[in-house]
Amino acid sequence: GDSLWRVLKRASGGKQDNIFHLSCLDALDEPLGALWISTYAPVCQPASGDGSFDREPSEVCGVTVPPPLEGSVRLDLWKVVYAITPVWEQTYSGELQPPAFQLTFGLCRHPSQAAC
């Protein structure tokens, strides 16, 4: 499933007003064998033909994206992915171990005013 989140936050660098796109997938029966979750800032739109990407998208998945609140900054490159893989029942020295999972995490971002 997919959803959009608006996250308002105060950080040492000032106020943030971020939009995050959250995607989730049950891949337990797939070769990955995990629950997959990704959170990312929507891709910025091309500026005025100069090759730069500095405009916020006006719409994501059919939802109008509001501009940042006055005095706030917004992350422009932020991608996080998680894979939660169950570790099925195992025995250790003949004793059944409690249920567990392996968490795999990845982050891609570049410095911005919002991340300071």
pLDDT tens track for 46-85: 555 555 555 567 777 788 888 889 998 888 788 999 999 9
Dihedral sign, Cα of residue 114, residue 46, residue 25, residue 104: negative
Mean pLDDT is lowest, of 51-55, 76-80, 99-103, 112-116, for 51-55
Buried (b) or exposed (e) across 20-55, using 16+ Cβ within 10 A?
Answer: bbeeeeeeeeeeeebbbebbbbbeeeeeeeeeeeee
The predicted pLDDT at position 22 comes to 94
93: left (phi over 0), alpha (psi -120 to 50) or beta: left
Q: Are 52 and 46 in contact (CB under 8 A)?
A: yes
> Coil, strand or helix: which one is 105?
strand
The predicted pLDDT at position 115 comes to 55
The model's pTM is 0.72
